[in-house]
Amino acid sequence: EAQVTQNPRYLITVTGKKLTVTCSQNMNHEYMSWYRQDPGLGLRQIYYSMNVEVTDKGDVPEGYKVSRKEKRNFPLILESPSPNQTSLYFCASSLFKRQGSYNEQFFGPGTRLTVL
Amino acid sequence: TQLLEQSPQFLSIQEGENLTVYCNSSSVFSSLQWYRQEPGEGPVLLVTVVTGGEVKKLKRLTFQFGDARKDSSLHITAAQPGDTGLYLCAGRLTSGTYKYIFGTGTRLKVLA
């Protein structure tokens, strides 16, 4: 089954304790992305990657890191989480076209993170 | 800066009514997509519009892309309780970036 998986689905942590949220896709997609969803703000892109070893900042990258060492995986790293990073996080993947840009993004089920 | 403004934010209507959701921007987009998200799940793509003035229909849903590719609308005819959900527009700018911008969302509730 074609899918995007995220782990963990729920996480409660404390300020300053490093954490990683994993994301994996089995569709051989080039483009992968992380979003956070907050009430009234919609989805905001954190980082995206057009292919292995190619990443770039989205609209809200501060406090986050990513890496793309393999095509299927795109982990999100919070080196020193803070309470304002409490949010619902989604990973997504799609094929990638430089022109046209109309590829469907497939989303994971989400990770609800609480930072105390 | 929110580049995609959606209206209304919330909408509660009776089954059988029609409704329109708007997605507006001052920026030009190479394409616009509409997603629907249900509680506890990630967004799922409904449609992509690419050409200015394009109209696409998906059963009772009609999507339109503005002539200048700065805005889009979603019209639902004879809404049903199964249409309940969060509707999101999203697009990529034409300026060479590969970022995606999402709208603020419209939460629709259709009452039986």
Which parts of chain B sit beneath pLDDT 70? 1-2, 94-96
Collapsed DSSP state (helix, strand, coil) of residue B96: coil
Which parts of chain A sit beneath pLDDT 70? 97-102
Whether residue B66 lies within 8 A of chain A, CB to CB, comes out as: no
In this structure, are residues A60 and A35 in contact, taking their beta carbons and an 8 Å threshold?
no
Structure token digits, residue A112: 């609800």
Whether residue B88 lies within 8 A of chain A, CB to CB, comes out as: yes
Q: Which of B44, B98, B102 sits opposite A42 (nearest CB)?
A: B102
B19-35 pLDDT per residue, tens: 999 999 988 888 899 99
| A4 contact residues in B (CB cutoff 8 A) | 42
Eight-class DSSP state of A44: E
